[in-house]
Structure 1
Amino acid sequence: MRELPAGPDAVLLDFADDEHPAAAALAAATAIRRAMDAGSLDDVTDIIPSERTVLVQSERGRGIDVLGVHRALRTARSTAADSEPADPEEITIAVVYDGPDLETVGALLDIDPAEVAEIHRTTRWRVQFMGFAPGFGYLVPEDDSKHPFADIGRREESRTRVPPGAVAIAAGYSAVYPRESPGGWHLIGHTDVPLWDEQSTPPALLAPGRFVRFVDEANR
């Protein structure tokens, strides 16, 4: 892990050189969040995980307690070594695999569209981080080995309108668009499961660290 300064009141933890960067970043974000909830990092106001980094932001003008962050990480490692890790709740999302890019993805992988859907369904996905739009979770495969979708990049041309509920893949990620927006990912299906509801607590269905399993709506 590398520590990179991010102004006087924040530090960026970079796990790019870790054996499993995504898992390490998510574990660090979880540990620091728990320390915040326990009151041992009083000045920390926000934690922003990404694919391989975690930004830890402190209250403006208070500086950043780097030693406290290290203590939180050490405590989490010690706790994990002494106990069985809890398996985060798995969210099930029913999908109709009828996306306009399903055949394109199949052609890129030299497989049938039905096989594309099967790969997507049989992968257990983990929410790595949130971003782009409220409720939009970037999902990565639980297995750190190379995934069949890893080399499927974005579309050459983005769409100006992607409908809410569109299930998509790009660059090794999967996601569900929570609302209508522009987008350049390959659309392979759609779901009626709401990803964002301002009247709910919390409003987002997804959160970093949670697992997602997609199932075929027709066979649910």
Structure 2
Amino acid sequence: MRVRRAGASALLIECRDSEQVEAWRGELWRRREAGELRVTDIVPGATTVLLDGVEPGLARELATWPAPDPVSPDQGPLVEIATEFDGEDLPDVARMWNRSVPAAIELLVSTQFTVAFSGFAPGFAYMRGLGEKFGVPRLDAPRPRVPAGSVALAGDYCGIYPTASPGGWRLVGRTSETLFDVRHEPPARLGPGTRVRLVPA
């Protein structure tokens, strides 16, 4: 773990992998809720955690903290997403996995995903769980429009498009559930640390 300055009031924690990111995110959230840490935002990424609105001296203090314990895979809240597995890229994904389409769907349904971080678009959650063995490449050319609710894969991440947008992920299904609404608090339904199950609709 390495801590860098990021502008006038932020720190960037650089981690060795996504598991260490999740461990630090969980520890930082715990300390903030306990009143032990005063920051404006805690923003996890693929291999980093950004702390914004930090107080002077926090970088030195972080260096004295013990490495946080790994986060239990059953620790976060669980959200089930009703999914129709009819994505146009599902047959290609099944071939990449050397499985039949029903077997590929069974793998997706049996996987417990965990939201690692958000990005790309408001409410778009990058979900880990498949592992590198089942990673798939992005499309060679992105689609100009991916419908809202599309369930898709890229690399070893799964994501659900909260709104219609261009995108190069491989489409395996769709959901009619709302994942981002500015009228809700929080607006994004799938925040970091949330466990997600794709349930056949």
TM-score normalised by L of structure 2: 0.89
Per-residue deviation at 1:70? Answer: 4.5
Aligned match of 2:126 in 133, 138, 147? 138
- In the alignment, the residues of structure 2 paired with residue 117 and residue 64 of structure 1 have an alpha-carbon distance, to the nearest angstrom, of 50
CA RMSD of aligned residues (A): 2.3
In structure 2, distance between residues paired with 1:123 and 1:85: 12
Query: 1 CA distance for matches of 2:67 and 2:12?
Result: 19
- Looking at secondary structure, tell me which structure has more helix per residue: 1
**Selected match of 1:172 from 156, 159, 175:** 156
Contact conserved, 1:29 with 1:47, CA < 8 A, in 2? yes
Per-residue CA deviations over 1:79-113 (Å, capped at 9, x if unaligned) read x9xxx997222111111100010111122223222
* Ranges in structure 1 where 5+ consecutive residues have no aligned partner: none
Structure 1 residue 4 displacement after superposition = 2.6
Question: Counterpart of 1:126 in structure 2: which amino acid?
Answer: T
Deviation at 1:65, TM superposition (A): 1.4
Report the AA paired with residue 51 of structure 1.
A
The aligned amino acid for 1:203 is P
> Secondary structure at 1:87's aligned position in 2?
coil
Asked if the contact 1:10/1:64 (under 8 Å) is kept, the reply is: no
Segments of 4+ in structure 1 off by > 4 A?
A: none
Equivalent residue pairs, number: 200
Tell me what 1:4 maps to: 4
What corresponds to 2:40 in structure 1? 45
Match 2:20 to one of 24, 27, 39: 24
Once the two structures are aligned, what percentage of the paired residues are identical?
35
Query: Where do residues 1-220 of structure 1 align in structure 2 (5 Å cutoff)?
Result: 1-16=1-16, 21-42=17-38, 44-58=39-53, 63=56, 65-70=58-63, 73-74=65-66, 77=69, 87-141=75-129, 146-150=131-135, 152-217=136-201
TM-score (norm 1): 0.82
Find the aligned partners of 1:140 and 1:14 in 2 and give their Cα distance.
Answer: 19
Cα distance in 1, alignment partners of residues 155 and 126 from structure 2: 11
